């Protein structure tokens, strides 16, 4: 079936999922399609209670949300390169902080194990 519309007539609405959304952002920018990223919470709670969950149901819910609230569209604009780099660095820093806390939690157990091994060696020596 042939449709008579141009790329400028299109609007893609998607739930913002952090860094996983960026491939969609780059693709829309590359082909010139407007993109509206919305808070997933707002989309989820915009309709009534739904049973089950699937990608198809999610897509329909997002499409219904976009039609219902099209007067509230806020187009997404990719941040400048410097801002993107800073966001990536902050994200990486957060991962390091989580790792640091994880390893700090393991230190007391490791220390107790080392003390036990040293004590056992002295007793058996």
Which of these ranges, 45-49, 73-77, 97-101, 115-119, has the smallest mean pLDDT? 45-49
* 58 and 107 inside one domain: no
* pLDDT for the residue 11: 94
* pLDDT for the residue 12: 95
* 51 and 36 inside one domain: yes
pLDDT for residue 123 is more than 80: no
**Confidence category of residue 10, pLDDT binned at 50, 70, 90:** very high
* 26 and 71 inside one domain: yes
The domain boundary, picked from 40, 57, 78, lies at: 78
Overall number of domains in the chain:
2
* 3 and 43 inside one domain: yes
Strand partners, 75: 36
pLDDT tens string 62-76: 999 999 999 999 999
* 106 and 124 inside one domain: yes
d(CA 44, CA 50) in angstroms, rounded, equals: 9
* 72 and 84 inside one domain: no
pLDDT for residue 40 is more than 80: yes
Look at 123 and 23; give whichever has higher pLDDT.
23
CB 44 within 8 A of CB 51: no
* 69 and 112 inside one domain: no
pLDDT for residue 38 is more than 90: yes
Identify the domain containing residue 72 by its residue range: 1-78
* 110 and 121 inside one domain: yes
What average pLDDT does the segment 91-106 reach?
A: 90
pLDDT for residue 23 is more than 70: yes
**Confidence category of residue 125, pLDDT binned at 50, 70, 90:** low
* 83 and 59 inside one domain: no
Using DSSP, state whether 75 is helix, strand or coil: strand
* 43 and 93 inside one domain: no
Question: 112: burial class by Cβ within 10 Å (0-12, 13-18, 19+)?
Answer: exposed
């Amino acid at each position: 079936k042939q449709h008579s519309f141009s790329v400028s007539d299109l609007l893609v609405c998607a739930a913002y999922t952090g860094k996983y959304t960026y491939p969609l952002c780059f693709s829309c920018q590359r082909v010139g399609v407007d993109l509206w990223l919305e808070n997933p919470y707002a989309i989820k709670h915009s309709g009534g209670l739904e049973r089950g969950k699937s990608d198809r149901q999610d897509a329909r819910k997002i499409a219904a949300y976009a039609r219902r609230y099209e007067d509230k569209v806020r187009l997404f604009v990719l941040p400048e390169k410097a801002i993107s780099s800073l966001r990536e660095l902050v994200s990486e820093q957060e991962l390091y902080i989580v790792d640091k806390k994880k390893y700090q939690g393991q230190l007391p157990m490791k220390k107790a194990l080392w003390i036990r091994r040293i004590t056992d060696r002295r007793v058996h020596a």
